[in-house]
Amino acid sequence: MPDVDSASDKDDLAVRSQLCQHLAFLYPEANAELLADEVISIFDDLKQQRPLPLHQLWSEKDCMLITYGDSIVDDNSVPLEILQQFLHGHLNDSVSAVHVLPFCPFSSDDGFAVIDYTKVNAKLGQWSQISEISDQYRLMADIVINHVSSKSQWFRNYCKGVEPGASYFIEAKVGDDLSAVVRPRATPLLRPTETANGMKHVWCTFSHDQIDLNFRNPKVLMEFLRIIRVYLQRGVSIFRLDAVGFLWKEPGTNCMHLPQTHEVVKLIRTVTDSFAPGTLLITETNVPNHENLTYFGNRNEAHVIYNFSLAPLLVHALLTGKTEYLKRWMMSMPPAPVGCTYLNFTASHDGIGMRPAEGLLSDEEQFEMVETVSRFGGKISTRRTADGGQRVYELNVALFDALRGTVGGEDQWQVERFLCSQTVMLGLEGIPAFYIHSLLATPNDQQGVAATEHNRSINRHKWNWPELKELLGDDQSVHSQVFHELTRRMQLRRSHAPFHPNATQFTLQLSDGVFAFWRQSSDRSQSIFCVHNMTDTTQELRLSDLNLIANDSWYDAISECRFDDQTAVLEMTPYQSLWITNR
């Protein structure tokens, strides 16, 4: 038998060597071996282990819910308890993972200006309730890694000139050439700040309450590794690296996706693979598609990346009835590398990002989307460009209301159009993720926008729990109709192997108003043809165009309608979806 201790020692040495390589690249003037020892000491109570086999990372049974801790509230319980009740009573057979958006004390941006990463916001609940969710579901948490609240102790210490914090932030001079820096906001990049050492100007990519951290200082990296260790202890098994593309700053560059940023992601991947196998990393990089794809690295960075281009292209197709842009993107998307996959989503706590549509939709097509969504009550957020101009950054709108009609105006097909959008997402390569307000068909929250004066509040409604339960129990309620049909389709998906996140996918070329793709199980025993009418008119589907295998029996898994005649011509009603399968 092999010497177990010897094998373990070899693993330990390999991990230490790998950490040294990462750290030497990031901090060439520091002692990489001492830094590696510090990293290992942070996780010293976790035994180093081999990564899980790739086939155990995810399956067709995986589906995620995205929610704030207080998306549902009432007066009798803390929100995290209400969330558990909602999950147990309504989603127990539908989702396997839950992304609880930032749950720490914060000062702005609905949680993304973190005051203390090690505490749970008392208004939401406590750590025990976070851990209870992780007992039943894979729990995803945000590591808001690029910046911290101006109310944090680190920044307070910076202003006083004491550690920890005095060396944790990025200073610049007003005259520095920062014109190439990519920004998601139109506010000034530098914030004047009075400190014990005089007036300083600190870097703020997002807002003046969100102060960028200086990862040139290895102490900052160590702080975040300790935070990751705390979260692992509390049951978090999926880490979302928020706004990670902005992490490393080099004046004179655009400060996006720099080599050091990728190296930090690789280092975190090494740590989690070694000390907590099965932990997943997801990078949040709301950027053009070709930039986003780089975060797979050489299968050594993110396990999962967001499919950011899906939302704007899908909404465009449903608003216009034109599928050419969606098809072109689908055909150009590479299969995820082995051991990696996509996270598919159509709505989130933010808006529908338009940067991922750059190079995929023309300016004219984007303008038409902006005009249409605005007519349906949506708001528009912009970003500053390098030449001083502004471009649309995102469409702020509840997805249910974004699909209220088409470019021609409102119509009677809102529910069908919306269900079509979610069914497309369910069928695609990758793991589907449902924002809670999509599941609940929540409309635009205009009162929320008026109260906060922030466009993103339009899609961050807080439901009253007794009211929501009543609506979900009312068959005549649009919220009930959408929720129950979506959860039915989510449960259907779990029983079909071709919906494995890494199963084969091929885009089909049917009529322009129809978007279709083929999925096949890894053992090739089952196929599913996912066919969607993206228009407000009836579309013909010739089953012969799908080349169905003659000896198999085919049926639509959604409607359970069987097709005995494989030469039949089907009439697809507006926004109808079919999952034509042989099992």
Q: Cα–Cα distance between 64 and 57 in angstroms, integer?
A: 14
On whether the CB atoms of residues 325 and 360 are closer than 8 A, the answer is: yes
Task: Name residue 577's beta-bridge partners.
Answer: 532
For 243-281, the DSSP string reads TGGG-S--TTS--SS-HHHHHHHHHHHHHHHHHSTT-EE
Residue list for the binding site for substrate:
109, 147, 240-242, 349-350, 456
On whether the CB atoms of residues 218 and 27 are closer than 8 A, the answer is: yes
Q: Which residue has the tokens 């079919």?
A: 578
Residue list for the binding site:
109, 147, 240-242, 349-350, 456
Tokens of 505: 């996918």
Tokens of 387: 């030449």
Q: Cα–Cα distance between 484 and 316 in angstroms, integer?
A: 26
SS3 465: helix
Which stretches does DSSP call E strand in 284-351? Answer: 304-306, 341-345
Q: Cα–Cα distance between 308 and 322 in angstroms, integer?
A: 19
Identify which of 432, 371, 442, 433 has the alpha carbon closest to the alpha carbon of residue 400. Answer: 442
Identify which of 423, 238, 228 has the alpha carbon closest to the alpha carbon of residue 341. Answer: 238
Q: Which residue has the tokens 């945000």?
A: 142
User: What is the torsion angle, in degrees rounded to the nearest 10, for the CA atoms of residue 264, residue 270, residue 276 and residue 280?
Assistant: 60
On whether the CB atoms of residues 390 and 481 are closer than 8 A, the answer is: no
Q: How far is CA 169 from CA 89, 158, 162, 511, in A?
A: 45, 8, 12, 54
Burial environment of residue 508 by CB neighbours within 10 A (0 to 12, 13 to 18, 19 or more): middle
Can you say whether residue 283 is alpha, beta or left, with left for phi > 0 and alpha for psi between -120 and 50 degrees? beta
Residue of 242, 273, 401, 445 marked active site: 242
- 242 classed as catalytic: yes
What single-letter DSSP state applies at residue 90?
Answer: I
Instruction: Report phi then psi at 106, rounded to 5.
Output: -145, 165
Catalytically active residues are 242
